[in-house]
Amino acid sequence: MTRLSVNINKIATIRNARGGNNPDLVKVALDCERFGAQGITVHPRPDERHIRYQDVLDLSPVLTTEFNIEGNPDDRFIELVKRVKPAQVTLVPDAPDAITSNAGWDTIRHADHLRKLIDTFKADGIRVSIFVDADERMVEGAKAVGTDRIELYTEPYATGYPDDRDAAVAPFVRAAQRAHELGLGLNAGHDLSLENLRFFNEQVPGLDEVSIGHALISDALYLGLENTIQLYLRELA
């Protein structure tokens, strides 16, 4: 069964718009868990435009499901993750000014850098996932640097889905098969939605986890958070 980790970045975006604590990020995270989410994902960015570093410290002791911290491994991020020791860290090669994540790692060019980072997190007992495009060479590079899992960057799938979903999913199926052959765990995320999630989950073999934020929180505006989480879980059943 594929597990659903709810990304709560957008809850922090709304909260930050007014400077107070409405909505209460910790309460929303605990409610997501109560409503059936099997994990909580956050992606602190250097400008703290949504998740703040303090949010990560506040969430860590109270969450009861898998805590997944995503981000670009700069010094501050590394220090934060090693202090919190979440179940999983997902390393993402974001430029500091990126609007959102827009590419996976070049696992061959950045092999030495990744290997050192992965070793340091694994030494603390943190499972490591690295964000990669659906490219078998990048999956093989991920295996070579010692990661536990990969997270496939699904934006190209989401973009291609409305026109030709079979063509859109094909590289992801190949990348997933290669990951399994190599013994890597498999996550996926970015722009997954109620429209495209079921097909992805049916076609891509052996998904361990999806992390979903933007579409899920947007759907919740119309459908309510509890109902929305149930609908996403139904797509994964």
Ligand X SMILES: NCC(=O)COP(=O)(O)O
Ligand Y SMILES: CC(=O)[C@@H](O)[C@H](O)COP(=O)(O)O
Binding site for 1-deoxy-D-xylulose 5-phosphate, residues?
Answer: 45, 50, 100
Output 55 or 70, the one with its CB closest to ligand Y. Answer: 70
Position 219 contacts ligand X (CB under 6 A): no
Position 88 contacts ligand X (CB under 6 A): no
C-alpha span between 95 and 100 (Å, rounded) = 9
Judge whether 70 counts as a catalytic residue. Answer: yes
Task: Please report, as a single letter, which amino acid is at residue 215.
Answer: A
H or E element that contains 175: helix 165-181
Q: Least distance in Å: CB of 212 to ligand X?
A: 4
Output 141 or 213, the one with its CB closest to ligand X. Answer: 213
Nearest Cα neighbor of 128 from 96, 178, 87 is: 87
C-alpha span between 189 and 214 (Å, rounded) = 11
User: What is the distance in angstroms between the CA of the first residue and the CA of the last residue of the chain?
Assistant: 7
Position 84 contacts ligand X (CB under 6 A): no
C-alpha span between 143 and 139 (Å, rounded) = 6
Position 159 contacts ligand Y (CB under 6 A): no
Residues ≥6 apart with Cβ < 8 Å to 165: 196, 199
Chosen residue from 4, 5, 43, 107 binding ligand Y by CB under 6 A: 43
Position 213 contacts ligand Y (CB under 6 A): yes
What is the residue whose two structure tokens read 């995320």?
A: 189
- Choosing from 43, 151, 209, 235, the catalytic residue is 43
C-alpha span between 74 and 224 (Å, rounded) = 36
C-alpha span between 201 and 197 (Å, rounded) = 6
Torsion over CA: 82, 84, 87, 89 (sign): negative
**Residue 66 binding result from ligand X, ligand Y, none, given CB thresholds of 5 to 8 Å by partner type:** none
Output 47 or 112, the one with its CB closest to ligand X. Answer: 47
Q: Least distance in Å: CB of 6 to ligand Y?
A: 11
Judge whether 180 counts as a catalytic residue. Answer: no
Instruction: State which residue has the least CB distance to ligand X.
Output: 189
Stretch that binds ligand X, among 57-65, 75-83, 176-184, 212-220 (CB under 6 A): 212-220
Q: Which residues are catalytic?
A: 43, 70, 190
Where does this chain bind ligand X (CB under 6 A)?
A: 7, 41, 70, 151, 189-192, 211-215
Where does this chain bind ligand Y (CB under 6 A)?
A: 7, 9, 43, 45, 70, 92, 100-101, 131, 189-190, 213
